[in-house]
């Protein structure tokens, strides 16, 4: 008898984006004259920059001739891309990461979801609340979370991120083995300083734990005092894996490319407590289950690091950050507390005890603006909404005018 993985039945159906779509649809049917402005889902709106398009085209053209055609490539990614990542994203910032510690993939969702496969089922896992949902759900699927009761999985350690702790998770009181961190954060937009990250690296060393550090929004960091990678912190190479994505950094949400850094020094322990190489485990997993990112996509990603590419993607992110700034200032002028919006494309707005779905409905029906209710990211998001800066300047300005009018 073919039997299902029972852990899947423990998953809480995520109705977030389908619920949003339904409410927006209902509203649109009744208000066909209103042009809805979407600042909800965190998808980019700007086209790939010219340098990237040229790299992409060049890659496609090479596939059109027998002399330059490529079949299967290295599962870990082509050296031309891994070398540029290692130099530009790490070595130039003082982080000693080499090209063979980079694993190119089709994006950070797959990597953050797949990485937990390398660990035992009975480890203790700590996740922030609110959180990017893939971390939690993939641990549910793996049978690591226990049952769902009173809105939370009994086997997980939740790290509440609230105003009181500046939306930065506190070090857990109990001992944990695996820690998910994400900075700049989705959904809150909060950032962590070097001192904050050092606290986590020290914790991981002390407790023989591992940090999974999601830096999908690293490109939005403009404050020179903030770390751009966890490997700026001494000792992090031993205790942290870092996930990166070209999705928000260079508009690749539909093109698909990202990478994971697993330093050779990074360790995990076997059942008798002996140190094992995490790099070897991930390499084994990656080469067994993944066959590489398409050649033209890797050529497109390589172009992000060309002189023209660097200038162009920076301008693109600057434009989103300008939107974020406008949103931040509007929310501030309306007297709401918020976090994020500088060094991040997300603004996390405190609805002042208002339920996040009520706040969502208010903005939809009074302003025709779509945001994301915070409850969709965890219990701690119940009184918050997330506003995303991914849209045109015109739409953001118009959305803010409408919100001012609706909430004044």
User: Could you list the residues that contact ligand PLP (CB under 6 A)?
Assistant: 42, 107-109, 112, 132, 182, 186, 214, 216, 245, 247, 253, 258
Least Å from the CB of residue 256 to ligand PLP = 7
Closest distance between ligand PLP and the C-beta of residue 135, in Å? 9
Instruction: State the residue for tokens 């596939």.
Output: 63
User: Given the complex with ligand PLP, which of 231 and 367 has the nearer CB atom?
Assistant: 231
- Shortest distance in whole angstroms from residue 407 CB to ligand PLP: 27
| Least distance in angstroms from the C-beta of 240 to ligand PLP | 16
Question: 119 to each of 84, 125, 129, 184, 276, how far by Cα in Å?
Answer: 30, 10, 22, 26, 12
- Shortest distance (Å) from residue 133 CB to ligand PLP: 10
Residue appearing with tokens 């090209």: 99
**Residues making up the chain, counted from first to last:** 408
Phi, psi of 60 (to 5 degrees): -65, -45
**159 vs 403, beta carbon nearer ligand PLP:** 159
Give 42 or 368: the residue with its C-beta nearer to ligand PLP. 42
Q: For the CB of residue 265, give the shortest distance to ligand PLP in the complex, in Å.
A: 24
Residue nearest to ligand PLP (CB): 107
Q: Which residue's CB is nearer to ligand PLP, number 106 or number 362?
A: 106
Residue closer to ligand PLP by CB (options 107, 378) is: 107
Phi and psi at 148, nearest 5°, equal: -95, 120
CA angle 65–69–75, rounded 5-degree value: 165
Dihedral Cα 169, 175, 180, 184, nearest 10 deg = 30
Place of tokens 């001739």: 65
Q: Which is nearer to ligand PLP, 119 or 213 (CB)?
A: 213
Could you give the angle at the alpha carbon of 210 between the alpha carbons of 205 and 211, nearest 5°? Answer: 105
Q: How far is the CB of 112 from ligand PLP (least distance, A)?
A: 6
Phi, psi of 185 (to 5 degrees): -85, 140
With respect to ligand PLP, which residue has the nearer C-beta, 362 or 389?
389
- Helices then strands, counting H and E runs in the chain, come out as 13, 17
């Amino acid at each position: 008898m073919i039997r299902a993985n029972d852990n899947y039945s423990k998953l809480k159906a995520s109705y977030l984006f389908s619920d949003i779509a339904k409410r927006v649809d209902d509203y649109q049917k009744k208000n066909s004259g209103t042009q809805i402005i979407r600042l909800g889902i965190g998808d980019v709106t700007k086209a790939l920059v010219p340098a990237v398009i040229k790299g992409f085209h060049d890659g496609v053209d090479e596939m059109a001739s027998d002399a330059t055609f490529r079949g299967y490539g290295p599962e870990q990614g082509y050296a031309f891309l891994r070398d540029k990542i290692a130099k530009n994203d790490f070595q130039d910032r003082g982080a000693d990461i080499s090209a063979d510690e980079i694993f190119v993939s089709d994006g950070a969702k797959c990597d953050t979801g797949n990485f937990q496969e390398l660990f035992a089922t009975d480890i203790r896992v700590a996740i922030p609340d609110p959180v990017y949902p893939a971390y939690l759900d993939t641990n549910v699927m793996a049978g690591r979370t226990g049952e769902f009761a009173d809105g939370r999985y009994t086997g997980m350690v939740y790290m509440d991120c609230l105003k009181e702790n500046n939306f930065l998770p506190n070090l857990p009181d109990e001992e944990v083995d695996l820690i998910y961190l994400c900075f700049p954060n989705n959904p809150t937009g909060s950032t962590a300083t070097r001192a904050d990250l050092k606290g986590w690296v020290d914790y991981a060393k002390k407790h023989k734990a591992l940090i999974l550090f999601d830096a999908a929004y690293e490109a939005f960091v403009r404050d020179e005092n903030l770390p751009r990678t966890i490997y700026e912190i001494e000792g992090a190479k031993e205790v942290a894996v870092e996930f990166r994505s070209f999705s928000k950094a260079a508009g690749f949400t539909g093109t698909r490319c990202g990478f994971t850094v697993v330093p050779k020094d990074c360790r995990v322990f076997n059942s008798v407590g002996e140190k094992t190489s995490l790099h070897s485990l991930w390499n084994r997993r990656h080469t067994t289950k993944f066959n590489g990112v398409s050649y033209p996509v890797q050529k497109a990603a390589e172009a992000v690091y060309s002189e023209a590419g660097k200038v162009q993607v920076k301008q693109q992110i600057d434009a989103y950050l300008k939107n974020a700034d406008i949103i931040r200032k509007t929310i501030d002028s309306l007297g709401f507390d918020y976090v994020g919006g500088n060094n991040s494309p997300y603004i996390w707005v405190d609805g002042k005890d208002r339920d996040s779905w009520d706040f969502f409905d208010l903005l939809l029906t009074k302003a025709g603006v779509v945001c994301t209710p915070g409850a969709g990211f965890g219990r701690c998001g119940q009184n918050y909404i997330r506003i995303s800066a991914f849209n045109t300047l015109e739409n953001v300005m118009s959305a803010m005018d409408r919100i001012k009018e609706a909430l004044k």
